[in-house]
Amino acid sequence: MSEERLRAAFAGARVAIAGGLGFIGSNLARRLGDLGAEVLVVDALLPDLGGNRHNLDGARGRIAVEIADLRASDTIPFVEGREYLFNLAGQTSHQGSMESPFDDLDLNCRVALRLLEACRKVAPEIFVVFASTRQVYGKPRYLPVDEQHPLAPVDVNGIHKLAAEAYHTLYREVYGIKSSVLRLTNTYGPRMRIKDARQTFLGVWLRAVLEERPLEVWDGEQLRDLTYVDDAVDALLLAAAVPETDGGAFNIGGGRRIALKRLADALIAANGGGDYTIEPFPDARKRIDIGDYHADDRLFRRITGWKPRVALKDGLVRSLEYYRDNLAAYV
């Protein structure tokens, strides 16, 4: 779908983004503002998650921000009269979900269910896009992983994300709430949390090279695919704008797969210097690690015409440039 068609789909549209001060949510809000949408961002700014007021600094367009904890706040005002809801609320830390499983339950299940209930009551015509995770597949039985792969999460976070997917399926089938689900892989780029590994390992790596510290690469031979945040935002927009996505759950990848050691080399090359050490996986992480992963996202590409446009080298350079200019706001 061309930029002109996206503008036609979203110009003047009333859109809500749950988790909109976070990494992907804020990039989505900025893009929607550029497209002419009227955007309501809702975020709790919980300290262990990715919300950051700086993420919307300088954003253009009509973007309103509401600070509210969706686990307990009245959700009806956030969806009433809205045409689209993008649910990027929740927590993404796999280890964090094992350490605080009930918090993960509330953040990833209770919030999704409360938003869907609000849609059922006051916004039955809304279209919901839910950001899920590749973690619902667990340890891959074959590569690349397509949507027919068995669903067998290996951590609490994956189980709760899968349950939230099921809520969206149920509310569509029983109440007619239109929705689509995107199973994201490692997403990176400007505005992600880099102070720790609660959002993504690559954030910790970026901080290390910018602070001229050696980064740690666990194992080094594992395969991953990564999605630059602008490409992930395009996928979210298309998931809402293309009617044929209704009722689907789709993988989103980033193109070619890469071993973690080669990724570290690419990051250091993009930075113009740095160093790393190869370390074994910590025991707690190893127990829930999924091993090699890369996505087969041909289904979403075929339905929407989406494909990643930002090469890894360019995405790493853009990310480093952003954090060089804004590091104090993220550490």
The reported pLDDT for the residue numbered 87 is: 98
Taking a C-beta distance cutoff of 8 angstroms, is the pair 204, 193 a contact?
no
Residue 156's pLDDT band, with cuts at 50, 70 and 90, is: very high
Q: CB-based contacts of 273: which residues, under 8 Å, 6+ apart?
A: 209
Q: What is the mean pLDDT of residues 272-277?
A: 92
Residue 1's pLDDT band (boundaries 50, 70, 90)?
Answer: low
Question: Please, are residues 90 and 108 in contact by the beta-carbon 8 Å criterion?
Answer: yes
pLDDT (average), residues 275-304 = 88
Give the mean model confidence (pLDDT) for residues 125-134.
98
* CA diameter of the chain: 55
Contacts of 268 (CB under 8 A, 6+ apart): 209, 274, 275, 276
Average pLDDT score, the chain: 94
Phi, psi of 294 (to 5 degrees): -155, 150
pLDDT at 260: 93
Residue 295 has pLDDT above 80, yes or no: yes
Residue 102 CA from chain centroid, whole number = 21
- The structural domain count of the chain equals 1
Q: C-alpha angle with apex 251: 249 to 253, nearest 5 degrees? A: 160
* Distance (Å, whole) CA 243 – CA 52: 32
Does 176 have pLDDT greater than 70? yes
pLDDT at 317 > cutoff 90: yes
Per-residue pLDDT, averaged over 54-63, amounts to 95
Q: Which of 145-149, 256-260, 318-322 has the lowest mean pLDDT?
A: 256-260
Q: Which of 202-206, 229-233, 283-287, 291-295 has the lowest mean pLDDT?
A: 283-287
- Look up the domain containing 177 and give its range: 3-329
Q: Write the CATH number for 205.
A: 3.40.50.720
| pLDDT beyond 80 at 284 | no
Quote the CA–CA distance of 94 and 22 in Å, as a whole number.
17
Q: pTM score, two decimals?
A: 0.95
Whether the per-residue pLDDT at 287 is higher than 80: the answer is no
